[in-house]
């Protein structure tokens, strides 16, 4: 992927995407120039035929010239085919490159970016905005070239035919240019507002479709519809302003074209009356005025495409200029041969510089040790574990693995060393096989099978309609909670990381399913440094050490029996769960 500097001007960023496809761009421009040249030449050829061939009764030559003109228009049709097909192909390739850069950039951004931005809005950046940029890449230069060559060429010929009439035409054009500039600014601001509202409505639709089952469970379809309808009405309102600006522009264009025709006939008629011009030259002028109509309409289209495309381009560059909050050092080391010695030294952290979530956490976890982290909800347990793979960065203190500060190693090697199983399992809308293989994309089928057996999901898979090729549905909705969880465990078996984090991985499961999955966890954690975040304390009694975190601080730590004898917070939590029958 070509490295681009997105801090340059928007125009330079845009043009940089043409470089890889410059041959298609040059072909498109050459064909556009040839089309414009034919349009400019035809009235001149017609004038020659009427001046020289017809009066001289050179009928053979006249029909030969007309045949050549017809052949030129056949060629023009072929050139228009090339412009349409290869020009759009060029635009699509530019769009694909831009989308690739944008998606890659999304992958580089960190959790805090996605915390702040709705999925539907980001989807709109990848689809709607880029379509407008494609139209600008293809139609923009092409329409501008055809219009410029046709208008300038026609004016040049018209001055050689009758400079007084050509001067009258030229006097009208600056007014047209002024109208274009004024309308363009109005359309651009309206276009930007439309795109913003379109992003909002896409975000609402994405949210509503994702929560459709919840909507039906609460019988709240009407509530969701009203939310959608409100967004839709706002979108329609924003379109109204844009269409008003477009209406003013198109009305001005139509008036300009008609006024130009009337002006040519009026001034030409006056010159004929004064015997300074003949009818043939007036017909030639009218042919050129007719040829003005196409480039003027193209300029109108260009103004619309330009405003829409520029608005999309600005939004694209705006995102590309967002820097990842977690930066990798220029010469970051690769974390290799990881033993799993994890040390947290006086770690302080807060989300978006708000109130601190963790206050001076210090913890030393030996290689192969199993440590359970427990405490009240909201105490900072999950936050602590999200700092280990650098989903967020510590504000003060440090976290190190095998003596290496995690800020000095590559994020890729760090995250390859850490495996995470969460309560909320995300499965892709794909087959069971592909979802397990996601843990290590280069794994063989036999390795995937072995991971499934280790996770105790193999028999379930074999009983599915298509075995490993069974489609799991959107987010795994066609599977049970236990099956989804065991598939996520199979992923981790396949990944085989030296450090394992189990974040409330069984809290949403029934006791029988949880007991079966705990066996898989037992095998999974053997020989690995394991951190277990758990709500059900009965599941962590056998951990090497239990750390109690509350209000962002370590309150106590020790083995299960030590903490029970101590009679502190852990003992209170444990006895409360026992009395409630939650063990």
pLDDT at position 509, please?
59
The whole-angstrom separation of Cα 493 and Cα 520 is 10
Domain spans in the chain, listed from the N-terminal domain onward: 10-320, 342-427+497-580
| Average model confidence (pLDDT) across the chain | 81
Specify the length of the chain in residues.
583
Query: What is the phi-psi region of residue 440: left when phi exceeds 0, alpha when psi lies from -120 to 50, beta otherwise?
Result: beta
For 333, the enclosing helix (H) or strand (E) is none
- Are 392 and 110 within 8 A, CB to CB? yes
Q: In sequence order, what DSSP letters do the residues of 196-251 get, joined into one string? A: HHHHHHHHHHHHHHHTHHHHHHTT-HHHHHHHHHHHHHHHHHHHHHHHHHHHHHHH
The H or E element spanning position 350 is strand 342-350
Helix (H, G, I), strand (E, B) or coil at 583: coil
Question: Which runs of consecutive H residues, i.e. helices, occur in 109-211?
Answer: 111-116, 119-126, 128-161, 163-210
Nearest to 516 by CA among 539, 532, 495: 539
37-67 pLDDT, tens digit per residue, is 888 888 778 777 777 777 777 878 888 888 9
Distance CA 137, CA 28 (A): 11
Binned at pLDDT 50, 70 and 90, residue 542 comes out as: confident
Place of tokens 């040390």: 343
Q: How far apart are the first and last CA of the chain?
A: 53
**Ramachandran region, residue 410 (left: φ > 0; alpha: ψ -120 to 50; beta: rest):** beta
Which of the four pLDDT bands, split at 50, 70 and 90, describes residue 582?
very low
The answer on pLDDT for 411 being more than 70 is yes
**CATH assignment, 10-320:** 1.20.1560.10
Q: At what angle do helices 59-108 and 128-161 cross, to 10 degrees?
A: 150
d(CA 94, CA 92): 5
For residue 75, is pLDDT > 90? yes
Q: Is the separation of the CB atoms in 365 and 546 below 8 Å?
A: no
| Per-residue confidence (pLDDT) for residue 209, from 0 to 100 | 65
Rounded to 10°, the helix 59-108/119-126 angle is 150
pLDDT tens per residue, range 509-535: 566 666 666 776 777 777 889 898 887
pLDDT at 400: 92
Q: Whole-angstrom Cα distance, residue 409 to residue 400?
A: 10
Average pLDDT over every residue of 6-20: 85
Interatomic CA distance for residues 521 and 37, integer angstroms: 75
**Burial environment of residue 348 by CB neighbours within 10 A (0 to 12, 13 to 18, 19 or more):** middle
Q: Is 458 helix (H, G, I), strand (E, B) or coil?
A: helix
Q: Which residues contact 267 (CB under 8 A, 6 or more apart)?
A: 164, 165, 168
- The pLDDT value recorded for residue 219 is 57
What is the pLDDT at residue 579?
74
Question: Which pair of tokens denotes residue 508?
Answer: 């949403």
In this predicted structure, which of 4-13, 34-43, 191-200, 273-282 has the lowest mean pLDDT?
191-200
**Structural element, H or E, at residue 32:** helix 22-48
pLDDT for 213 equals 53
Q: Supply the DSSP symbol for 442.
A: T
Q: Which of 164-168, 289-293, 379-383, 407-411 has the lowest mean pLDDT?
A: 289-293
Residue 366: per-residue pLDDT:
92
**CATH 3.40.50.300 is the classification of domain 342-427+497-580:** yes
pLDDT in tens, 322-364: 888 888 888 888 888 888 899 999 999 888 777 778 888 899 9
Tell me if 183 sits within 8 A of 303, measured CB to CB: yes
For the segment 155-208, what is each residue's pLDDT rounded down to a tens digit?
888 788 778 877 887 887 777 767 766 776 676 667 667 766 776 676 666 666
333 class by beta-carbon count within 10 Å (0-12 exposed, 13-18 middle, 19+ buried): exposed
Nearest-angstrom CA–CA distance, 249 and 182: 9
For the stretch 557-578, pLDDT in tens is: 988 888 888 888 888 888 887 7
What's the rounded Cα separation, in Å, for the pair 423 and 503?
A: 6
pLDDT of residue 514: 65
| For the chain, percent of residues with pLDDT exceeding 90 | 6
For 445-484, the pLDDT digits (tens) are 999 998 888 887 888 888 888 888 888 877 677 888 778 8
């Amino acid at each position: 992927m070509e490295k681009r500097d997105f801090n340059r001007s928007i125009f330079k960023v845009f043009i940089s995407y043409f470089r890889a496809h410059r041959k298609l761009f040059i072909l498109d421009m050459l064909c556009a120039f040839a089309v414009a040249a034919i349009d400019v030449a035809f009235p001149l050829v017609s004038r020659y035929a009427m001046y020289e061939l017809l009066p001289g009764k050179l009928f053979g030559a006249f029909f030969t010239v007309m045949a050549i003109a017809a052949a030129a228009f056949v060629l023009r049709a072929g050139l228009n085919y090339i412009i349409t097909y290869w020009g759009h192909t060029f635009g699509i390739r530019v769009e694909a490159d831009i989308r690739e850069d944008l998606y890659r950039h999304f992958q580089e951004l960190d959790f805090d970016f996605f915390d702040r931005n709705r999925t539907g809005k980001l989807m709109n950046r990848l689809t709607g905005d880029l379509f407008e940029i494609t139209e600008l890449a293809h139609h923009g230069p092409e329409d501008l070239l055809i219009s410029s060559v046709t208008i300038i060429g026609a004016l040049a010929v018209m001055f050689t035919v009758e400079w007084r009439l050509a001067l009258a035409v030229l006097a009208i054009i600056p007014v047209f240019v002024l109208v274009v500039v004024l309308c363009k600014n109005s359309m651009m601001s309206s276009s930007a507002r439309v795109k913003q509202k379109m992003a909002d409505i896409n975000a609402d639709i994405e949210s509503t479709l994702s929560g459709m089952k919840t909507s039906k469970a609460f019988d709240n379809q009407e509530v969701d519809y009203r939310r959608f309808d409100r967004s839709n009405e706002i979108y329609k309102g924003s379109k109204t302003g844009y269409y008003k600006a477009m209406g003013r522009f198109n009305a001005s264009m139509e008036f300009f074209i008609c006024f130009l025709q009337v002006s040519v006939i009026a001034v030409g008629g006056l010159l004929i009356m004064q015997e300074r011009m003949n009818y043939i030259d007036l017909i030639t002028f009218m042919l050129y005025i007719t040829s003005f109509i196409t480039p003027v309409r193209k300029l109108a289209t260009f103004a619309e495409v330009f405003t829409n495309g520029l608005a999309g381009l600005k939004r694209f560059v705006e995102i590309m200029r967002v820097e990842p909050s977690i930066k990798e050092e220029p010469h970051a080391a690769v974390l290799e041969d990881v033993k799993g010695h994890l040390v947290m030294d006086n770690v302080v952290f807060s989300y978006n510089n708000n109130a601190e979530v963790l206050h001076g956490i210090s913890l030393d976890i030996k290689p192969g040790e199993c440590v359970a982290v427990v405490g009240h909800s909201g105490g900072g347990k999950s936050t602590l574990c999200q700092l280990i793979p650098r989903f967020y960065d510590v504000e003060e203190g440090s976290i190190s693995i095998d003596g290496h500060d995690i800020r000095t190693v590559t994020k890729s090697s760090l995250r390859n060393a850490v495996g995470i199983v969460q309560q909320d399992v995300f499965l892709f809308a794909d087959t069971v096989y592909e979802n397990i293989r996601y843990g290590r994309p280069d794994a063989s089928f036999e390795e995937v099978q072995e991971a499934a057996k280790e996770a105790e999901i193999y028999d379930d898979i074999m009983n599915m309609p298509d075995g490993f090729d069974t489609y799991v549905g959107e987010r795994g909705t066609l599977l049970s909670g236990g099956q989804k969880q065991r598939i996520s465990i199979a992923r981790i078996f396949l990944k085989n990381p030296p450090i394992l984090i189990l974040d409330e991985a069984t809290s949403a499961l029934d006791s029988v399913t949880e007991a079966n999955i705990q066996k898989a966890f037992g095998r999974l954690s053997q020989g690995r440094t394991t951190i277990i975040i758990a709500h059900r304390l009965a599941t962590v009694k056998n951990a090497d050490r239990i750390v109690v975190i509350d209000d962002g601080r370590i309150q106590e730590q020790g083995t299960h029996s030590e903490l029970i004898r101590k009679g502190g917070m852990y003992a209170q939590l444990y006895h409360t769960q026992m009395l409630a029958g939650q063990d």
